[in-house]
Amino acid sequence: MRKLSYAQAINEGLKQMMREDKSVFLIGQGVTSPWYVGTTTVGLLDEFGDERVIDTPVSENGITGAAVGAALAGMRPIVTHPRMDFMYYAMDQIANHAANWYYMFGGKINVPLTIRGIINRGGEQAAQHSQALQAIFTHIPGLKVVMPSTPYDAKGLLISSVQDDNPVLYIDDRWLYELKGDVPEEIYTVPIGRGVVREAGKDVTILATSYMAYEATKAAARLKKEGIDAEVIDIRSLKPLDEALIFESVRKTGKLVIADAAWKTCGMAAEVSALVSENIFECLKAPIKRVCLPDTPAPASSVLEEVYFPKDKDIILAVKSII
């Protein structure tokens, strides 16, 4: 099959959705910039014009609110935040407005909105340019949250997000942009709410989100050489969460390591851990282990970044601690 990079897959997904549906438009900071959102929006302005590819002032709250409003009026906006860190400014419009609307008005009017939040860390960018805020958003009812880790899913989940009748937060990761993989040319979807087994195994389950799924696959390959047969689940959707897939795997292996490159306290790893303990406690043969960021802001100095961001070796250590 044809190979595309993760960034190219996003770009193709955006293009195809905009060609397919005139109500889809792109709005947000840097969508016409040569660097701000990587290469993910290259060529869109030329093809669709500035009425549908709208670069904006730095007004995250106002622009996100405008996207919510446009969705209420029947459009399918994709509002882009080049760094998740800047989304705090838009928190009110996302949490109080977009996520509550359908429920709060008795199911009368929905918000078909895609919010694209980009994680862009490393390179000594420090605490305000490095955050992975998936847990904060997953906490909010009424908002779906997806995190693709492969080029195939990057396109398929983007299309699902745009076609969904609800607000969906689509989180992509700059560390994955150069990753290449099979991507069909046609329009296809990856269902929101379904995880995937990346490697089948019987000794331990490694459940990972986003970039950590890539690290988990590397870890599993190294563990295999040492005779440890790890199953890797890329959960892909944080909300809704594919609980059935998680339980099925843990029932088989009895051991669980969760890798999520975000803060540990009250994070996704904590949520998955609680769900497993609550529902299939009797299947566990060892304590659940979490591979996360320490509960500190992101440091600048490369030396500190090196210990701050978890890698495959951290997953391996966690696995070995319960095998």
Partner 1 sequence: MKQCSNPITMELVKGIPTTVLWKIYMTMLKIRMVEEKIADLITRKEIICPCHLYIGQEAVATGVCTALENNDYVFSTHRSHGHYIAKGGSIKLMMAELYGRVTGCSRGRGGSMHITSPLVGLPGSSAIVAGTIPLAVGTALAFSIKKNGGVSVAFFGDGATDEGVFYESLNFAALKKLPIIFICENNLYSTHMHISARQLNGNIYKKAQIFKMPGIQIDGNNVLEVFQAASEAIEDARNGKGPTLLECMTYRWRGHVGPNWDIDKGLRSKEEVEWWVDNCPLKRLEEFLLKENILSESKKKQISKQVNEEIEEAIEFAKESPFPDKSEVLNDVFKS
Give me the residues that bind partner 1 (CB under 8 A), please: 29-30, 32-36, 55-62, 85-86, 88-89, 123-129, 294-297, 299-304, 306-308
φ, ψ (nearest 5 deg) of residue 203: -85, -35
In the complex with partner 1, the residue whose CB is nearer, 5 or 93, is: 93
In the complex with partner 1, the residue whose CB is nearer, 185 or 306, is: 306
Report in angstroms how near the CB of residue 86 gets to partner 1 at its nearest: 7
The reply to whether 97 belongs to the active site is no
In the complex with partner 1, the residue whose CB is nearer, 57 or 107, is: 57
Report in angstroms how near the CB of residue 218 gets to partner 1 at its nearest: 22
On the 0-12 / 13-18 / 19+ scale of CB atoms within 10 A, 222 is middle
In the complex with partner 1, the residue whose CB is nearer, 31 or 276, is: 31
| Per-residue tokens: 103 | 């429920």
Give CA separation, 29 vs 78, 97, 175, 307, in Å. Answer: 12, 20, 20, 31
Report in angstroms how near the CB of residue 32 gets to partner 1 at its nearest: 8
Q: Return all residues near 35 (Cβ < 8 A) that are at least 6 apart.
A: none
DSSP codes, 263-306? ESTTSHHHHHHHHHHHHHGGG-SS--EEEEE-SSPPPSSHHHHH
CB 218 within 8 A of CB 231: no
∠ CA 95-166-114, nearest 5°, is 75
The C-alpha atoms of residue 170 and residue 117 are separated, in whole angstroms, by 6
Report in angstroms how near the CB of residue 56 gets to partner 1 at its nearest: 8
User: Which residue type, as a one-letter code, is found at position 10?
Assistant: I
Report in angstroms how near the CB of residue 295 gets to partner 1 at its nearest: 7
In the complex with partner 1, the residue whose CB is nearer, 277 or 296, is: 296
By annotation, the residues acting in catalysis are: 129
